[in-house]
Structure 1
Amino acid sequence: MIKVAGSLFSILFVFFVTPVFAVEANGTGSMIVAPLLRVWAESYSMYSKGSSIKYQGSNPADGLKKISNKEVEFGIVDMPLRLEELQKLGLVQFPVALGSIAPVVNLPNVYPGQFKLDGQVFGDILLGVITKWNHPAIAALNPSLKLPDASIIVVHRVSPPGISTVMGDYLSKTHTSWKSIKGDGMAGEWPAKSIEVKNPEGMLNAVKGNQHSIGYGPIAHFLKHSMSYAQLRNKAGKFVSPSDENVEAAAENADWNVSNGFAVVLTEQPGENSWPLSMAAYALMLKNPEYPERSKEVLKYFKYSLRYGKLKAVQNDYIALPDSVRTKVDASWEGIVDAQGVPLLKK
């Protein structure tokens, strides 16, 4: 009798302690946001008592391909798909985190936030139209700075999908001939006096190691090394810095529309405080997933992370969605349904 009771206790212990409903789901896509998604996944696993959300950073195109082929439960891209693309592929799209790109310069006696640029002058520098730091167009934006009579060294990335796409979008909106020369991206010819790098660390080292150089990239990486970022003139005509508050302002001033699939690019948004080179990471999920229990777990993961993962976003060089945007994202999830048309996660 004692043995039977002991066996029964063991069965009950396993039943109640083991996370019976633990689910594993997978995602892939943008490399930039991968550290944040993984940290969020660790927190969610503890909260959900065992459910596992795995994210493999690769590139946005891979994320789109694999979610479209139903190989993963979600993909992450750096530029939103248009509504017609989402409808054709049977996808639902929503933003999950914010970030920013900024120009960075290495000039003597110029400190973070002192140097100013607008899209036209920045584009002319990158195209090799402006080749000297004391060019009249640069001097007009920086009357209080003593600019050197030195050649500009342009440091550029080997067209990584996320940063290049966002940069190209911004410059095509703010530079008169960028689109006709380089299209919506950053591919093509660069100035003769330029340096090509492969990653953020390469950008950091090249700009830091070459006086009179200019580059660009995620602002958080530069701030950690006290490098001199530039202010940019925004759509309202104001010079602003790439602070978290100004990136949030860009998101708050954007026209997020659930019915349009959140197809909003955060560059050059209205508002006096909006940082013009803001960006977002977007999740893509199947509207009618083959494995609804996995997709439901992904939605629960995002719901938990967007609400409680704000500090972890900052710690991983991203910015959480403002509450005004997050509530719209929550509402959009009713568009992800099971075979009977029932939303996987209701409000």
Structure 2
Amino acid sequence: MKLSAFAKVAAIGGIAALALTSCAANEAAPADSGDGSTSDSSLSGELIGAGASSQGSAQEAWIAGFQTTHSGVTVNYDPTGSGAGRETFQQGASAFAGSDRAFTVDEIAAGPFEGCATGDIVEFPAYISPIAIIFNVEGVDSLQLDAATVAQIFSGKITKWNDPAIASQNEGVTLPDTNISAVHRSDESGTTGNFTDYLSAAAPDDWTVGSIESWPTEFGGEGAQGTTGVVDAVTNGTGTIGYADASRAGDLGTVKIKVGDEFVGYSPEAAAAIVDASPFEEGRSDHDLAITLDRTSTEAGVYPIVLVSYLIGCEKYADSANAELVKEYFSYIVSEEGQQTAAEAAGSAPISEELRGKVQTAIDAIG
């Protein structure tokens, strides 16, 4: 369904209204270069983006950092969700989108991309976040689990913390005869999608419902709204376990995941390593850098439960002003400075130098 001209204006207005933090960031003064002068550019205009809430904190930090050298640019990002962000971008109501998955090849072929001069898009991984399995069991700070055991816990097949499947992988750990209360996201979620994608790939015999963004009701468990809801439910419960962005794990117990013959805990380095160990999807254009995550990789030091969030723009914009703004903003985001800014603000994993080079080539194609 195409948006009417009035609807497009309303959508843009809604994005601007909801992105109050982003607007505030754009009111910052230009950065002091250290010698009393300021570092600024002649670039100006308004840039509208929308999409994944997973990128919310990172986008706030990116906007603030970008502002230090581009005070004439106003960037508004509405973290309305991946699906809504992709739709807003397709309808031409935003210049770029953030999404916890890439467009499928069929979606790209079907279009339309009304803000683009052609049907070709640029999309690439910009935000990598490890997903931690968090738990609250008295006296236990860390556990080791393989994929099959995790799948059985969250599908309700394993119901006690001292179950032999858990105990056999955690020798020397005193596990209580306590019921397991598995907490999942009650809302449609990219975090759930990536978590279930891991279970589907690594434990297909025990997780048979595939990679899904809405939790299967037949598995029961406790539903909680958003990342904050899951963390709160695990923190305030007894014998609870859940999954959440690793930056929110806090003092909760966390799980090391079996990869090959070792158990690997989450870290920015391990999360970035699984992305580098995974191939690009075939059948896409040169500047469409969608990755097929190898959740079953046995390479040393990789952590397979990660959320990879993309930035999406036009390869050729109908409005040349958007092209200039998007190109500059995307370049800042994937720069070493931009990635470190997000890591400090949101606990994400900076992309590797190897991936950065490929992504920058795609960004340079924007026009």
TM class, shorter-chain normalised?
A: 0.7 to 0.9
Name 1:251's counterpart in structure 2. Answer: 275
1:149 to 169, 173, 177: 177
2:89 is the counterpart of 1:64? no
Give 1:183 shift: 5.2
Q: In 2, Cα distance between the equivalents of 1:65 and 1:178?
A: 34
2:218 is the counterpart of 1:218? no
Give 1:334 shift: 4.2
Name 1:81's counterpart in structure 2. Answer: 103
Name 1:110's counterpart in structure 2. Answer: 140
**Residues 289, 190 of structure 1: CA spacing in aligned structure 2 closer, same or farther, 3 A cutoff?**
same
Give 1:296 shift: 2.0
Question: Counterpart amino acid of 1:170?
Answer: Y
Name 1:42's counterpart in structure 2. Answer: 64
**Could you tell me whether the CA contact under 8 Å between 2:126 and 2:334 is conserved in 1?**
yes
**Residues 300, 260 of structure 1: CA spacing in aligned structure 2 closer, same or farther, 3 A cutoff?**
closer
Give 1:313 shift: 1.1
TM-score, structure 1 normalization? 0.84
2:212 to 180, 184, 193: 184
The secondary structure found in structure 1 opposite 2:49 is strand
**Could you tell me whether the CA contact under 8 Å between 1:83 and 1:261 is conserved in 2?**
no
Name 1:93's counterpart in structure 2. Answer: 123
**Residues 266, 183 of structure 1: CA spacing in aligned structure 2 closer, same or farther, 3 A cutoff?**
closer
Q: In 2, Cα distance between the equivalents of 1:322 and 1:183?
A: 26
Question: Counterpart amino acid of 2:52?
Answer: S
The secondary structure found in structure 2 opposite 1:259 is coil
**Could you tell me whether the CA contact under 8 Å between 1:79 and 1:265 is conserved in 2?**
no
**Residues 19, 320 of structure 1: CA spacing in aligned structure 2 closer, same or farther, 3 A cutoff?**
closer
2:159 is the counterpart of 1:131? yes
The secondary structure found in structure 2 opposite 1:143 is coil
What root-mean-square deviation, in Å, do the aligned CA atoms of Structure 1 and Structure 2 show? 2.3
**Could you tell me whether the CA contact under 8 Å between 1:169 and 1:267 is conserved in 2?**
no
Name 1:121's counterpart in structure 2. Answer: 149
Give 1:185 shift: 4.0
Name 1:6's counterpart in structure 2. Answer: none
Q: In 2, Cα distance between the equivalents of 1:32 and 1:301?
A: 18
Q: In 1, Cα distance between the equivalents of 2:238 and 2:310?
A: 37
Post-superposition Cα deviations, 1:265-284, rounded to whole Å, max 9, x if no partner, equal 43616321111101211011
**Could you tell me whether the CA contact under 8 Å between 1:169 and 1:185 is conserved in 2?**
no
Name 2:30's counterpart in structure 1. Answer: none
Give 1:187 shift: 2.4
2:274 is the counterpart of 1:274? no
**Could you tell me whether the CA contact under 8 Å between 2:268 and 2:350 is conserved in 1?**
no
Post-superposition Cα deviations, 1:8-55, rounded to whole Å, max 9, x if no partner, equal xxxxxxxxxx97641211000001111211221122122123112211
Post-superposition Cα deviations, 1:262-305, rounded to whole Å, max 9, x if no partner, equal 22143616321111101211011123322122122111112123
Instruction: Structure 2: give runs of 5+ residues left out of the alignment.
Output: 1-39, 112-118
Instruction: Structure 1: give runs of 5+ residues left out of the alignment.
Output: 1-17, 337-343
Give 1:82 shift: 3.0
**Residues 68, 212 of structure 1: CA spacing in aligned structure 2 closer, same or farther, 3 A cutoff?**
same
Name 1:26's counterpart in structure 2. Answer: 48
Q: In 2, Cα distance between the equivalents of 1:155 and 1:202?
A: 9
TM-score, structure 2 normalization? 0.79
1:263 to 281, 290, 297: 290
**Residues 108, 186 of structure 1: CA spacing in aligned structure 2 closer, same or farther, 3 A cutoff?**
same
The secondary structure found in structure 2 opposite 1:288 is coil
2:343 is the counterpart of 1:314? yes
**Residues 267, 216 of structure 1: CA spacing in aligned structure 2 closer, same or farther, 3 A cutoff?**
farther
**Residues 74, 131 of structure 1: CA spacing in aligned structure 2 closer, same or farther, 3 A cutoff?**
same
Post-superposition Cα deviations, 1:123-173, rounded to whole Å, max 9, x if no partner, equal 111111111111111112112212111111111111332111111211111
The secondary structure found in structure 1 opposite 2:57 is helix
Question: Counterpart amino acid of 2:209?
Answer: I
Q: In 2, Cα distance between the equivalents of 1:268 and 1:260?
A: 24
Q: In 1, Cα distance between the equivalents of 2:213 and 2:127?
A: 22
